């Protein structure tokens, strides 16, 4: 928690209309951790725990999964509310950003580095950075070429081949 | 090899033109990202990790270390001028540094911080040279139980020192340990938690995890906010402190060096803990403690010295025991592992050019930083004009390209994306990524040592307590927990008494107290030496109105607009 987050959550608490929803959202993190912990416990047991004298592959995962489960279980009860930042309209921007990143990876696989980078930089600068179209395009083109030169030409990273990449050499 | 021979060899390495270039690049990048709020040393080092694999191990660590201590210098600048800590360890500097700036003494505040950082850094390097070799000698006799105790100590310290909820940090550490078990069991070869994915047989890639949690997670988190950073347009004059300033702060710098050094060596130390402790110490020692919070130069000199000293001495556990003391060091540890070097007691004899080269480069780097910071402060301030959106867009693309280049595997890009989401969610729900990453790095060491211990002892857990060294370490662990708990309470008491009486408005008053109190109880946006939290910006801005305009002389005292506390935050 940072100096600000107590202040921020104070703001969030005031803003929040439904305390029940807030509580549910707040408990989400411990619940997820608990599920992960229990799943890992059962998986680790299946791997074979062995004995302390001859530890099996599952013993250590079992111990740490036990720690995770135990802490998550306690957090389910005592997690301090001040740690939580409120969910805001800005959260939607995050989802959009994530979709953009995923798209970048998919395109990267098929189109190589330069084209997806150009698209990604331009779109991000325009929509999330609030730059003008012209500025976003200039930075996008310049950035894509500069990064291609750094990664492919200077460092020799074998990016998937794409139409424009070959033109630029490397 | 004697210490003098070692230092000589180190200087020979550090003075090679390539290494000189890289230490310069390192401290320059460090200063720059220290100035830029929202991009701290942790994120930067995570982003640059892939690029270090193509260079020599010694050069790589020289570069990364330079970024780390360089950021300690750079973080001061925005703390003093805008009351925005550029990185977490500089939070304390906002208390008195900003007040000095309001009284027209921004120059001396920055000057004394640079001089103090330099002295603290150099003294810590000397301490490192003296302490590390004997510690490494001692560590050679460590067996598996000692390593279990040491790694447990490291993880526990990181979860304990600082964060308001040690339990949540412990939970994250457990998750990190669990993640470390993904892949083939080192002893039997059984695959664990791979879900049939061939890419997971070698485990989850450390670089991808670190870049996701710190780099992408941080950028996503900052997407939710939209406010802009104000540029500072005033000229900063009289950087070089007066003789009186030096006399006033000499004691604080001396004590800050020692305190920072000691705290940096402790697991979980470094960064913000040391600067908080130094501030508390200076305030307690002062003849007139009421001056603190109103522009006392000691309140800038001490903490700034301490945070730089601690960022240097934090290398001791890594270079001698192979245990990273905080998250930044965990990243450097990871960089060395990928280079095929396992930091540990043998490092000093097997890779002397890495060990001594890095140490010698710190001397050179600190000298460069002093030269960079005193005359060029004005240039760095201009960096605040770079818009956050541009920074984020490029950081993302570099992250993706960089992580691909580690294994030339697209799978790792998806790992970054997934951990980016996890990192963002952790920020939203108040979980620290630091313990997760540290535990992830230490996990395989800890598991191997644990299993070897069990084989040694024939399955008896007594082995951890009965061996003098591991038993001693466990006792230290218990002791440090008790002490840190008491110290945290005392520190809280000290900070509750920071009352900036000459603040302009009640709103600002409350703001500062919140900053002081909040930071102390949970400590630690940067107990890891700098998980960069962008959040402080948000909290500070509304109360300040236009800090850029009023920073140097406090000319806007009467007319500071004070919007309602909740406005403009998102």
Three-state DSSP string of B437-473: HHHHHHHHHHHHHHHHHHHHHCCCCCHHHHCHHHHHH
Does residue A105 have a pLDDT over 90?
yes
Answer whether residue B545 is part of any domain. Answer: no
- Which secondary structure element, helix H or strand E, spans residue B33, and what is its range? helix B17-35
User: Do A75 and B393 make contact, defined as CB atoms within 8 angstroms?
Assistant: no
Residues paired with B191 in a beta bridge: B184
Specify the pLDDT at position B293: 84
What whole-number distance in Å separates Cα of residue B319 and Cα of residue B132? 8
Predicted-complex ipTM score: 0.84
Instruction: Provide, as residue numbers in chain A, all residues whose Cβ is less than 8 Å from the Cβ of B455.
Output: 53-55
* Residue range B370-384, pLDDT digits in tens: 988 888 877 887 777
What whole-number distance in Å separates Cα of residue B263 and Cα of residue A110? 50
Residues paired with B192 in a beta bridge: B183
Distance from chain centroid for Cα B465: 32
Specify the pLDDT at position B560: 32
Answer whether residue B551 is part of any domain. Answer: no
Answer whether residue B406 is part of any domain. Answer: yes
CB of B99 closer than 8 Å to CB of B58: no
Query: Residue B524's pLDDT band (boundaries 50, 70, 90)?
Result: very low
* Residue range B482-511, pLDDT digits in tens: 776 676 666 556 555 444 433 343 343 444
Specify the pLDDT at position B530: 37
Give me B404's structure tokens.
């691909």
Query: Residue B363's pLDDT band (boundaries 50, 70, 90)?
Result: very high
Does residue B528 have a pLDDT over 60?
no
Instruction: Provide, as residue numbers in chain B, all residues whose Cβ is less than 8 Å from the Cβ of A91.
Output: 224
Beta strands (DSSP E) in B180-259 are 183-184, 191-192
Residues paired with B148 in a beta bridge: none
- Please give the average per-residue pLDDT across B253-268, as a whole number: 86
* Residue range B368-422, pLDDT digits in tens: 999 888 888 778 877 777 777 888 888 888 888 888 887 788 898 999 999 999 9
- Please give the average per-residue pLDDT across B301-324, as a whole number: 89
What whole-number distance in Å separates Cα of residue A74 and Cα of residue A91? 28
User: Do A74 and B167 make contact, defined as CB atoms within 8 angstroms?
Assistant: yes
What whole-number distance in Å separates Cα of residue B267 and Cα of residue B317? 8
Higher pLDDT, A14 or B402: B402
Give me B244's structure tokens.
């009186």
A33 touches chain B (CB under 8 A): yes
Let me know if B425 is exposed, middle or buried by CB neighbors in 10 A (0-12, 13-18, 19+): middle
Answer whether residue B546 is part of any domain. Answer: no
Specify the pLDDT at position A7: 44
- Please give the average per-residue pLDDT across B56-85, as a whole number: 86
CB of B442 closer than 8 Å to CB of B155: yes
Answer whether residue B520 is part of any domain. Answer: yes
CB of B217 closer than 8 Å to CB of B429: no
Q: Which of A33, A147, A160 sits opposite B175 (nearest CB)?
A: A33
- The mean pLDDT of chain A is 80
Does residue B81 have a pLDDT over 60?
yes
Query: Residue A19's pLDDT band (boundaries 50, 70, 90)?
Result: low
Does residue B120 have a pLDDT over 90?
yes
Instruction: Provide, as residue numbers in chain B, all residues whose Cβ is less than 8 Å from the Cβ of A67.
Output: 170, 174, 177
Answer whether residue B559 is part of any domain. Answer: no
Give the C-alpha distances (Å, rounded to integers) separating B314 from A106, B202, B213, B266.
Answer: 41, 30, 22, 7
* Residue range B196-246, pLDDT digits in tens: 788 788 888 888 888 888 888 878 887 776 555 555 556 677 778 888 888
User: Do B165 and A108 make contact, defined as CB atoms within 8 angstroms?
Assistant: no
Answer whether residue B570 is part of any domain. Answer: no
Cα nearest neighbour of A74 on chain B: B167
Distance from chain centroid for Cα B428: 21
* Domains of chain B: total: 1
Residue boundaries of the structural domains of chain A: 3-83, 90-168
User: Do A105 and B421 make contact, defined as CB atoms within 8 angstroms?
Assistant: no
Specify the pLDDT at position B546: 34
User: Do B187 and A52 make contact, defined as CB atoms within 8 angstroms?
Assistant: no
Specify the pLDDT at position A67: 93
Specify the pLDDT at position A170: 53
What whole-number distance in Å separates Cα of residue B75 and Cα of residue B37? 8
Query: Residue B119's pLDDT band (boundaries 50, 70, 90)?
Result: very high
Predicted model pTM: 0.76
What whole-number distance in Å separates Cα of residue B173 and Cα of residue B160? 11
- The mean pLDDT of chain B is 78
Give A60 to chain B, closest Cα distance, Å: 7
CB of B175 closer than 8 Å to CB of A36: yes
H and E: helices and strands count for chain A = 7, 0
Q: Which of A4, A84, A158 sits opposite B408 (nearest CB)?
A: A158
Higher pLDDT, B500 or B168: B168
Segments forming the whole domain that contains residue B60: 3-540
């Amino acid at each position: 928690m940072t100096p600000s987050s107590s202040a921020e959550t104070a703001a969030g608490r005031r803003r929040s209309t439904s305390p029940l929803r807030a509580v549910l959202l707040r408990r989400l993190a411990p619940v997820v951790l608990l599920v992960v912990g229990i799943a890992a416990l059962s998986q680790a047991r299946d791997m074979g725990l062995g004995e302390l004298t001859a530890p099996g592959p599952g013993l250590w995962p079992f111990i740490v999964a036990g720690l995770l489960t135990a802490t998550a279980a306690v957090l389910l009860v005592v997690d301090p509310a001040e740690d939580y930042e409120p969910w805001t309209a800005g959260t939607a921007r995050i989802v959009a950003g994530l979709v953009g990143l995923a798209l970048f990876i998919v395109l990267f696989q098929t189109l190589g580095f330069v084209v997806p980078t150009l698209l990604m930089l331009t779109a991000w600068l325009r929509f999330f950075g609030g730059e003008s179209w012209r500025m976003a395009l200039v930075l996008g083109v310049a950035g894509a070429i500069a990064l291609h030169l750094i990664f492919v030409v200077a460092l020799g990273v074998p990016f998937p081949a794409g139409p424009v990449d070959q033109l630029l050499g490397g | 090899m004697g210490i003098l021979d070692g230092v000589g060899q180190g200087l020979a390495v550090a003075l090679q033109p390539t290494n000189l270039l890289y230490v310069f690049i390192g401290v320059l990048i460090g200063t720059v990202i220290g100035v830029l709020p929202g991009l701290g040393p942790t994120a930067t080092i995570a982003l640059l990790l892939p690029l270090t694999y193509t260079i020599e191990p010694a050069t790589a660590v020289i570069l990364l270390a330079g970024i780390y201590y360089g950021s300690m210098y750079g973080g001061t600048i925005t703390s003093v001028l805008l009351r925005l800590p550029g990185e977490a360890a500089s939070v304390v500097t906002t208390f008195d540094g900003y007040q000095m700036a309001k009284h027209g003494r921004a120059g001396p505040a920055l000057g004394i911080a640079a001089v103090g950082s330099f002295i603290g850094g150099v003294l810590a390097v000397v301490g490192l040279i003296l302490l590390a070799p004997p510690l490494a000698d001692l560590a050679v006799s460590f067996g598996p139980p000692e390593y279990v105790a040491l790694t447990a100590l490291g993880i526990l310290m990181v979860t304990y020192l600082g964060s308001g909820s040690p339990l949540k940090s412990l939970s994250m550490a457990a998750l990190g340990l669990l993640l470390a078990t993904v892949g083939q069991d080192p002893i039997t070869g059984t695959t664990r938690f791979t879900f049939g994915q061939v890419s997971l047989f070698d485990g989850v890639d450390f670089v991808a995890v670190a870049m996701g949690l710190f780099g992408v997670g941080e950028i996503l988190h900052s997407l939710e906010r939209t406010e802009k950073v104000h540029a500072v347009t005033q000229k900063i004059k009289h950087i070089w402190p007066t003789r009186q300033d030096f006399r006033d702060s000499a004691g604080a710098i001396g004590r800050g060096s020692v305190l920072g050094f000691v705290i940096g060596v402790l697991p979980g130390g470094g960064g913000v803990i040391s600067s908080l402790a130094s501030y508390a110490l200076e305030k307690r020692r002062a003849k007139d403690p009421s001056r603190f919070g109103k522009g006392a130069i000691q309140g800038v000199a001490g903490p700034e010295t301490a945070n730089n000293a601690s960022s240097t001495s934090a290398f001791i556990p890594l270079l001698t025991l192979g245990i990273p003391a905080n998250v930044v060091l965990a990243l450097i540890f990871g960089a060395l592992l990928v280079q095929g070097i396992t930091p540990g007691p043998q490092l000093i004899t097997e890779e002397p050019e890495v060990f001594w080269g890095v140490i010698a480069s710190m001397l050179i780097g600190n000298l460069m930083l002093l030269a960079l910071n005193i005359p060029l402060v004005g240039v760095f301030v201009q960096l605040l004009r770079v818009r956050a959106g541009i920074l984020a867009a490029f950081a993302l693309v570099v992250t993706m390209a960089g992580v691909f280049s580690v294994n030339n595997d697209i799978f790792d890009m998806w790992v970054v994306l997934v951990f980016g989401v996890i990192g963002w969610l952790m920020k939203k729900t108040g979980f620290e990524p630091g313990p997760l990453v540290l535990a992830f790095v230490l996990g395989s060491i800890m598991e191997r040592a644990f299993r070897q211990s069990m084989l040694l002892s024939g399955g008896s857990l007594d082995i951890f307590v009965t061996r003098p060294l591991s038993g001693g370490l466990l006792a230290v662990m218990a002791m440090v927990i008790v002490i840190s708990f008491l110290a945290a309470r005392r520190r809280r008491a000290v900070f509750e008494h920071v009352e900036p009486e000459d603040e302009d408005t009640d709103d600002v008053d409350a703001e500062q107290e919140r900053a002081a109190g909040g930071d102390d109880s949970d400590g630690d946006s940067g107990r890891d030496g700098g998980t960069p939290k962008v959040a402080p910006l948000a909290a500070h801005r509304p109360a300040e109105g236009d800090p850029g305009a009023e920073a140097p002389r406090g000319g806007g005292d009467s007319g500071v607009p004070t919007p309602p506390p909740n406005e403009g935050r998102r």
